[in-house]
Amino acid sequence: MVWVILGQKFQILLKYKFDKKMKNKIFIYCILVLLFSSCEKTSMVGGRFIDYYSGKPIQNLEVAFIKCDNYIDYQIKWSEVKIVSTCYTDSNGRFLFEVSSDETIGFFRYAPIYNSDTTSVNSRYVLNENYSMDWGKNGEFKLQSVPLWVEISLTNATYLDTFSIYFDKQIDERIISDHTTKFYFINMKPGAWNSIDIYKIKNREKIFLETKRIFVKHPISEISSERIFNMAPICKINVQLESE
């Protein structure tokens, strides 16, 4: 469209009696106007990813610059967004993307790309916040190490009884409301046997029931890898009480 308009203007100008030198100048001027008008204004946006606990920069993290049509919630999948570009963080954990200044800021996010390869930096971190872009500001974004969540179900526990399960220094106490009641722990060693102590709470008294050794499998994280957020894998274990 711009070419057509400029062409029409240039033809009108040529009708006037200009010398050849002046016509050449007019032609060059029209070309320059076209070039500058077609140049897209861009801005550099980015930030810096650091480790949540140590505060050290995360190097060689593959970061995606993603765009979506709506607000990004914690259930959104990679298939529901458009990956505009990707890059890797430098030795200071910094990353940069070049984008059009005319784009709507709110529809863009940064996200580490999930990678199940244990040699990849990306496999060791989980996105725990909805990081958004901001023109002219390079913020620091903290990433936590990927925890392994272990979900324990007491398959034959009595309805409305209260149980406490101990693992290391972790305690999870719950009332068995129905079959969906679960106990959750982190930092259990995958691919190995782990010991848990099970107690029953009766009249505010803690009664030891038994010690169970449970084998924690390496979880298959196919479902987690589909999602941008909540990538922490879960290993589900059913435990049958001998004393019930």
The pair of three-digit structure tokens given for residue 215, joined into one six-digit string: 């084998």
Q: Which of 216, 212, 186, 180 is nearest to 199 (CA)?
A: 212
Contact 76, 114 (CB under 8 A): no
What phi, psi does 191 have (nearest 5°)? Answer: 70, 25
Given a cut of 70, whether residue 68 has pLDDT beyond it is yes
Cα–Cα dist 66/76, whole Å: 12
Please compute the mean of the pLDDT values over residues 174-185 and round it to a whole number.
Answer: 89
Q: How far is CA 62 from CA 59, 95, 176, in A?
A: 9, 9, 43
- Residue 104 Rama label (left phi>0; alpha psi -120 to 50; beta): beta
Higher pLDDT, 226 or 155: 155
What element of type H or E holds 89? none
Higher pLDDT, 234 or 164: 164
Contact 206, 229 (CB under 8 A): no
CB under 8 Å to 28, separation ≥6 — which residues?
A: none
Cα–Cα dist 220/92, whole Å: 32
Which pLDDT score is estimated for 198? Answer: 96
Which pLDDT score is estimated for 108? Answer: 77
Cα–Cα dist 201/108, whole Å: 49
CB under 8 Å to 5, separation ≥6 — which residues?
A: none
For the chain, give the percent of residues with pLDDT over 70: 65
Given a cut of 60, whether residue 20 has pLDDT beyond it is no
Cα–Cα dist 157/10, whole Å: 87
Which pLDDT score is estimated for 24? Answer: 57
The pair of three-digit structure tokens given for residue 35, joined into one six-digit string: 């070039």
Which pLDDT score is estimated for 55? Answer: 87
Q: Where does residue 133 rank: exposed (0-12), middle (13-18), buried (19+ CB within 10 A)?
A: buried
Please compute the mean of the pLDDT values over residues 151-177 and round it to a whole number.
Answer: 92
Which pLDDT score is estimated for 97? Answer: 87
Look up the pTM and report it: 0.54
Given a cut of 70, whether residue 70 has pLDDT beyond it is no
> 192-242 pLDDT, tens per residue?
899 999 999 998 899 999 999 999 886 654 445 677 765 566 788 999 988
Residue 165, classed as helix, strand or coil, is: strand
> 89-136 pLDDT, tens per residue?
999 999 988 877 666 656 778 888 877 676 788 877 766 555 555 544
Q: Which of 13, 97, 21 is nearest to 63 (CA)?
A: 97
